[in-house]
């Protein structure tokens, strides 16, 4: 029996196996986070069905679609049966139309219990947009600091301790700088990013505060939802700082293993021509060609990053808490941060 469920019911569903039956192109652009792709039509087939629908008739489109689907049915059913071994199947398409209805009907005939999401991915997307239109119900602690001070690692340590940390750069697949995409592959679409951020926020709904790294409104190719960005701007700021040698060592370790580092760095440096000038960019490229990563990194820190971001490299009364990483006593820094969080969240 096919049971229709609303998007609100999906959020409390236990052990749901989400099955997105849209084409691989639609799925890769954005889906409900965690959903698996079981496409009824591939990209070409979807385009052909759509063309027939608009240029001939809905009936002609259905006939063409049936011809595409028929040879795939045994394989589709086998894959769906395998997925059903791990949990309850919930199928969806773009807006709860014929594609999800077709697969759900076939699975029902095979005796497989199946749920179908009303409104499809469109309903989920509407829920995400609605969420980010409202003012956040949580406060935000923003970890600030110049490039290379170890903010990401520090936040990861807090997250392992059970604190409500969201790694925005990980969600955006970008380190948040001119060189931020190096070695990371393709970024998510804006829709996919917002969906992942929404899921992270839902998972931390039991906390009255969140901890994030300070970011600009844009991280690589995605943009933070306006309500979330405003909450960050109004958040409590904590400063992390470290010595230049430690920062250089940390950045060299992270970036020197990037594949095709010469090509990737050349592309990134081209974007700094207006800021640094042709002569400085040429010198930086030469340092990379010589594999002189420490000097390259030091020049970038002193001549670009520290000027651009302009965070203090020492304790400052402009921040509610200042943490010095120079002594490398990470546990000591974490203890200070935990004490601060305990006091701050109790207010």
Q: Is 299 exposed, middle or buried (0-12, 13-18, 19+ CB in 10 A)?
A: middle
CA–CA dist 297, 144 (Å, integer):
20
Which tokens is 14 given? 């236990």
Opening angle at CA 298, ends 294 and 301, nearest 5: 140
93 is catalytic: yes
**CA neighbor of 22 nearest in space, from 151, 191, 172, 214:** 191
**Residue in the structure block whose two tokens are 């509610």:** 320
The one catalytic residue in 93, 144, 214, 322 is: 93
Which tokens is 226 given? 């306006």
> Strands 218-219 and 222-223, how do they pair?
antiparallel
Task: Give the single-character DSSP code of 280.
Answer: H
Q: Which residues are catalytic?
A: 93
């Amino acid at each position: 029996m096919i049971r229709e469920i609303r998007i609100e019911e999906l959020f409390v569903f236990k052990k749901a196996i989400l099955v997105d039956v849209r084409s691989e192109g639609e799925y890769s652009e954005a889906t409900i986070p965690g959903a698996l792709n079981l496409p009824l039509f591939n990209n070409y087939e979807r385009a052909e069905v759509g063309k027939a629908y608009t240029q001939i008739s809905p009936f002609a489109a259905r006939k063409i679609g049936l011809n595409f689907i028929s040879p795939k049915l045994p394989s589709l059913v086998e894959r769906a049966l395998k997925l059903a071994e791990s949990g309850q199947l919930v199928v969806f398409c773009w807006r709860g139309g014929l594609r999800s209805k077709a697969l759900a009907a076939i699975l029902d005939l095979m005796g497989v219990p199946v749920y179908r999401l009303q409104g499809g991915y469109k309903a989920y997307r509407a829920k995400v947009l609605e969420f980010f239109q409202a003012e956040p119900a949580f406060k935000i602690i923003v970890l600030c600091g110049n490039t290379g001070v170890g903010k990401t690692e520090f936040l990861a340590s807090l997250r392992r301790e059970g604190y409500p940390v969201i790694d925005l750069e990980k969600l955006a697949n970008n380190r948040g700088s001119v060189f931020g995409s190096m070695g990371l592959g393709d970024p998510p679409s804006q829709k996919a990013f917002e969906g992942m951020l929404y899921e992270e926020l839902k998972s931390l709904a039991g906390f009255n505060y969140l901890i994030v790294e300070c970011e600009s409104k844009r991280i690589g190719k995605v943009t933070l939802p306006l309500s979330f960005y405003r909450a960050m701007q109004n958040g409590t700021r904590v400063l992390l700082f470290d010595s230049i040698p430690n920062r250089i060592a940390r950045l060299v370790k992270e970036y020197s293993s990037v594949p095709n580092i010469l090509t990737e760095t050349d592309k990134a440096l081209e974007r700094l021509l207006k800021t640094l000038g042709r002569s400085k960019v040429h010198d930086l490229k030469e340092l990379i060609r010589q594999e002189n990563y420490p000097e390259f990194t030091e020049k970038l820190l002193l001549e670009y990053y520290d000027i651009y971001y302009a965070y203090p490299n020492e304790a400052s009364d402009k921040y509610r808490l200042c943490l010095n990483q120079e002594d490398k006593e990470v546990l000591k820094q974490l203890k200070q941060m935990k004490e601060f969080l305990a006091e701050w969240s109790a207010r």
